[in-house]
């Protein structure tokens, strides 16, 4: 009788416990998404022409093909940054991406792209340790001494990028770089929903440092000091 009673309790509580875990997990993703979207929205411009002046456009890296050409998503970010520079909205470009391996280099591909479109070499800063959005914004503040920035990335990524920048103390405005359709945007959106939960945890609880820091190279100097 005792064993039967215990088995009945297990049968009763097991689905409740699973349900509680599912609800808590959902809230752990939903709440950061709502907070990030709400707090970032007032700081996202309708387009490059509506953005305020800032020290620099921070361009977040993305896939570069084996032949060194930027993917369409990255090319659109770079085109948007060039437009901001030529419109006088920013004084410098800060190109931040993954150059952690000799066989893969987002940053120099980004540099070649914007210089070929007429941005002076000395006005382009390259961040070779932008391994995540968090690392990029942390390093923008501490390595490059950026105070005000226009963050350039696709719309699905923009709330997290702006929220991260502003939480780390940058006066940041976002400008979307959605010049064309990319296909499978829903996959990027779902992935970013999950990434927002991690960003919230990093910014509010764990507060890690970036993978690398390094010497200070102020954004109001000569960008050629960042080559490497």
pLDDT at 6 over 60: no
Q: What are 109's strand-pairing partners? A: none
For 91, list phi and psi in degrees, rounded to 5. Answer: -95, -25
Q: Where are the domains of the chain?
A: 39-226
Exposed/middle/buried for 215, CB within 10 Å: 0-12, 13-18, 19+? exposed
Residue-level pLDDT at 119 = 98
Record the pTM.
Answer: 0.85
Tens-digit pLDDT profile for residues 194-222: 888 899 899 999 999 998 898 999 999 99
CATH number of 39-226: 3.40.50.620
Question: What is the sign of the dihedral through the CA atoms of 48, 98, 181 and 162?
Answer: negative
Q: Give the pLDDT confidence of 45-104 residue by residue, as tens digits.
A: 999 999 999 999 999 999 999 999 999 999 999 999 999 999 999 999 999 999 878 889
- Return all residues near 227 (Cβ < 8 A) that are at least 6 apart: 126
pLDDT digits (tens, 9 = 90+) for 166-192: 999 999 999 999 999 888 777 877 888
């Amino acid at each position: 009788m005792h064993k039967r009673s215990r088995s009945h309790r297990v049968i009763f509580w097991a689905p409740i416990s699973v349900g509680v875990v599912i609800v808590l997990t959902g809230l752990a993703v939903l709440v950061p998404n709502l907070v990030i979207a709400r707090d970032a929205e007032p700081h996202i411009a309708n387009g490059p022409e509506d953005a305020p002046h800032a020290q620099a456009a921070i361009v977040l890296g993305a896939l570069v093909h084996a032949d060194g050409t930027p993917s369409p998503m990255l090319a659109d970010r770079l085109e948007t940054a060039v437009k901001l520079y030529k419109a006088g909205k920013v004084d410098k470009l800060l190109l931040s991406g993954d150059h952690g391996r000799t066989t893969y280099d987002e940053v120099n591909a980004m540099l070649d792209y914007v210089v070929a479109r007429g941005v002076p070499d000395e006005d382009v800063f390259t961040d070779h340790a932008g391994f995540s959005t968090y690392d990029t914004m942390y390093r923008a503040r501490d390595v490059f001494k950026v105070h005000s920035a226009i963050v350039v990335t696709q719309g699905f990524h923009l709330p997290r990028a702006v929220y991260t920048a502003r939480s780390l103390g940058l006066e940041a405005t976002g400008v979307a770089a959605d010049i064309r359709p990319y296909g499978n945007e829903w996959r990027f959106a779902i992935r970013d929903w999950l990434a927002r939960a991690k960003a919230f945890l990093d910014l509010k609880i764990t507060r890690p440092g970036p993978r690398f820091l390094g010497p200070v190279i102020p954004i109001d100097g000569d960008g050629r000091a960042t080559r490497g």
